[in-house]
Amino acid sequence: MTELRTVLIVDDSDDDLEVFQRLLNVDPSIRRIQTAGTGDDGIEAYQADRPDCVLLDYNLPGRNGIEVLRRLKALDRFATIIITTGQGDERIAADAIKMGAADYVAKNQITSDMLRRSITRSIDSSVMQQRMAEQLEEQRLFLNTLIHDASAPLRQIRTFASQLVADIRAGDYDEVLDQGVAIAKAATRVQNLIDTLRSYALLDKPVIFETVAMTDAVEAAMSNLADKIEERGVLVDCRELPLIEGHRPQLIQLFQNLISNATKYSRSEEPTISISACQSDKTSDSWVFEVRDNGIGIPPDRLSYVFEPFKRLWGQDDFEGTGLGLAICKKIVERHGGQIWCDSDGQQGTCFRFSLVSKTADRYSNVVKASPQIEQSSKRRLSMTDQQLYP
């Protein structure tokens, strides 16, 4: 299914606006058409709605098209902007492309097919540029995180190993066991960091969707976290969950990260996690899942960046982590066409919600029921495919 798009036309000519609207109205991929008669109005309209593509007239009152283009690119360097003008002009075209325009079209030569191809090609190019920029930024963050987070445990390993050798040479074996345990813990921290980075990187690989019983995904996630859940005495209350079209290993990882997060960030003597789902008010084929805990909560001023990669809410001395757990959740949900968000007052726990949309809405009528508390006997191990993808 073609993704629906919004197009903003910035042009001071009513006749030209009418022509563009007529050409765009025959394109089924266009969801909404907006118009603006001046450059300032166009900038304001872009800021308010962030359309997928802008058709920007070169000759505008007040600001010309190049000035508006420069302003829009300052607002959003990945904005998809096509410069239009009454007559073809190679100099204007060159200046526009140099300033970041995705394409240039002459009004006296344009057709509906030509406009559709230009919009599609321009949007695809902008999306590709944005993805490449995001990947480069992720690679930079990966490298910085690996260098920063691995340095401390590696220094500890070197220090403990040197002390271990010295103790053995001196025949002082009382501290040897403690040194060995310390080395093992430091090595585990490095391995956990590498595993987490690997899991995050694997989310970009192509996957095949299938029907997934979300209750089974919760059970598999709990099976992987059985030791932590038992150690903390965590009570997980899982209500009725639907079937979803998705990638089972990733959906297991999603629940695993959220449950692990709730378990780790809790100082309660009786940590509790409630998992439920309900149909969205927006569309009949969309479900909103909720994972609620009674942990320490998230300060309101930190909610805006809680899903950003490598953003830690707490220091390593308080809670260990890579700052990737919730970023992985976000990437998984977005790969499934949904959104994830959270609410917390910073005192009485956190509620994570995410939406998932099924390719076949009527499959949601087949709801899988789970007992209020998933018992140890109902747990099952991940398949070999799951284990290979998410160690």
If asked whether residues 227 and 296 sit together in one domain, one would say yes
Q: What is the count of structural domains for the chain?
A: 3
E strand map for the chain: 5-10, 30-36, 53-57, 81-85, 103-106, 210-213, 235-238, 243-246, 272-279, 286-293, 340-343, 351-357
If asked whether residues 230 and 196 sit together in one domain, one would say no
**127 within a domain of the structure (yes/no):** no
If asked whether residues 81 and 194 sit together in one domain, one would say no
If asked whether residues 179 and 253 sit together in one domain, one would say no
Sign of the CA dihedral with 14 first, then 35, 40, and 68 last = negative
CA atoms within 13 A on the CB side of 254: 31
Query: Tokens standing for 109?
Result: 């030569």
Query: Which CATH number goes with the domain that contains 39?
Result: 3.40.50.2300
If asked whether residues 144 and 167 sit together in one domain, one would say yes
Order across the sheet with 272-279: list the strands. Answer: 235-238, 272-279, 286-293, 351-357, 340-343
If asked whether residues 223 and 333 sit together in one domain, one would say yes
If asked whether residues 249 and 277 sit together in one domain, one would say yes
With a pLDDT cut of 70, the percent of the chain lying above it is 82
β-strands 286-293, 351-357 pairing? antiparallel
44 — pLDDT class (breaks 50, 70, 90): very high
End-of-domain residue from the set 181, 202, 223? 202
If asked whether residues 296 and 349 sit together in one domain, one would say yes
pLDDT above 50 for 61: yes
Alpha-carbon torsion angle 204, 208, 214, 217, nearest 10 = -70
If asked whether residues 235 and 380 sit together in one domain, one would say yes
If asked whether residues 349 and 220 sit together in one domain, one would say yes
**Does the predicted model carry a pTM greater than 0.85?**
no
Cα 218 to Cα 17: distance, rounded to the nearest angstrom? 53
| Span 325-369, pLDDT tens digits | 888 899 899 989 899 999 987 777 899 999 998 754 433 333 333
**242 within a domain of the structure (yes/no):** yes
If asked whether residues 174 and 214 sit together in one domain, one would say no
**79 within a domain of the structure (yes/no):** yes
CB-CB contact of 220 with 197 (8 Å): no
**123 within a domain of the structure (yes/no):** no
Q: Which domain holds residue 17?
A: 5-110
If asked whether residues 259 and 326 sit together in one domain, one would say yes
